[in-house]
Amino acid sequence: METFYDILKITIPALLVLLTAWILLRNLMKNDQDKRRQEIVLQNSRTVTPIKLQAYERIVLFLERISLESLLVRVSSSGMTAAQLHSALLTTIRSEFEHNLSQQIYMSPQAWEVVRNARSNMIKIINSEFEKKPVPATSMEFSQRLLEAVMEMNNEPTRAAIDYIKGEVGRMI
């Protein structure tokens, strides 16, 4: 029986030391993993944030380029018919959009949806005013109708989208 107590006197402290060492090592390894995870996240944010900001910049540029004032200045030329201007406006919007499609990877789904809606609404405005124009209309008359339609709106679709993007970038920074 005395031998049993001697074994217990040696085993119990050894088990306590083993348990303590195991707990300390487990906590140390967990802290090390957490630290590495935080370093990876920080490194990723240093790499991805500038790319995201660049994507948002490109989308704002896209929205500015498809605003009616900008489009009309770039696309309209003397001697165009209203139909030619209509076609050129739609072609320009579509090509600008296709050129910037890859930016959606870096944007939130909500922001990308706002951009898509702005593009669709600009196309709807152009189509709607084209259908309302008098039959033999010049590109100047069509341009004037487009600008009047935008002025009647509280907020041009591209301007609303730009405001949304600016707010999202502000929250991101």
Residues ≥6 apart with Cβ < 8 Å to 165: 56, 59, 60, 63, 111, 114, 115
pLDDT on residue 173: 79
Work out the mean pLDDT of the chain and round it to a whole number. Answer: 92
Name the band, by pLDDT with cuts 50, 70 and 90, for residue 118: very high
pTM of the model: 0.77
DSSP state of 23: H
pLDDT tens per residue, range 29-82: 999 999 999 998 888 778 888 999 999 999 999 999 999 999 999 998 888 899
pLDDT tens per residue, range 71-115: 999 998 888 899 999 999 999 999 999 999 999 999 999 999 999
Do residues 96 and 62 lie in contact, with contact meaning Cβ atoms separated by under 8 Å? yes
DSSP state of 122: H
Q: How far is the C-alpha of 27 from the C-alpha of 36, rounded, in Å? A: 14
